[in-house]
Amino acid sequence: MLAAFLFAALIGRLIYIEVITSSDLQAKAMEQWMRDVPLQAERGEIYDRNGVLLADSETVYTVYARPMSVSNKAKTASILAETLGLDKETVYSKLHSRISEITIAKKVTKEEMLKLYNSEATGLYYSQTISRVYPYGDFMTQILGFTNLDAQGQTGVEAYYDKYLSGTDGYLLTETDLVGRELDTGVTRYVAGKKGNSVYLTLDYYIQSFAEKAVDAAMINHKALGASAIVMNAKTGEIYAMAQAPSFDLNNVPRDNIAELFSYSKSTLISNVFEPGSTFKILTAAIGLETGAISVNTACYCPGYRMVDGQKIRCWKTIGHGSQKFYEGVQNSCNCLFMDTALKIGSNRFYDYIYKFGLNEKTGIDFSGEGKGLLIPRADVKPVDLARIGFGQAIAVTPIALLRSAAAVVNGGNLVTPYILDRVEDTSGKIIVKNAPSVKKGVISETTSATMRDVLESVVTNGSGRNASVAGYRIGGKTGTAQKYINGVIARGKYTSTFIGFAPADDPEYIVLMVVDEPQGLYYGSIVAAPYVGDIFRGIFAYKNISPAVTPEPVETFIMPNLIGMTPQQANAELTKLKIFVEIAGEEGIVVRQTPAAGVYVSAKSVAVLEIG
**Residues known to be catalytic:** 278
Question: Could you check whether the bond before residue 38 is cis, i.e. omega within 30 degrees of 0?
Answer: no
Give which of 357, 199, 43 is closest to 375, Cα–Cα.
Answer: 357
Q: Are 239 and 232 in contact (CB under 8 A)?
A: yes
d(CA 410, CA 453): 6
Cβ 422 vs Cβ 201: under 8 Å: yes
What DSSP string describes 84-132? HT--HHHHHHHTT-SSS-EEEEEEE-HHHHHHHHTSS--SEEEEEEEEE
- How many CB atoms are located within 10 Å of the residue 521 CB? 13
Helix (H) or strand (E) run with residue 458 in it: helix 446-462
Q: How far is CA 174 from CA 61, 163, 183, 547, in A?
A: 18, 30, 8, 66
Distance CA 158, CA 63 (A): 27
Task: Tell me the C-alpha distance between 188 and 175, whole Å.
Answer: 7
What does the longest C-alpha to C-alpha distance in the chain come to? 122
Q: Concatenated DSSP letters for 500-519?
A: EEEESTTS--EEEEEEEES-
What are the beta bridge partners of residue 171?
Answer: 38, 191
Q: State whether residue 583 is helix, strand or coil.
A: strand
Contact indicator for 61, 128 with CB cutoff of 8 Å: yes
- Distance in angstroms (rounded) separating the CA atoms of residues 218 and 27: 62
For residue 484, count other CB atoms closer than 10 A to its CB.
17
Helix axes 399-410, 281-291, angle to 10 degrees: 40
Residues 6+ positions from 342 with CB-CB distance below 8 Å: 284, 288, 350, 386, 387, 389, 390, 391
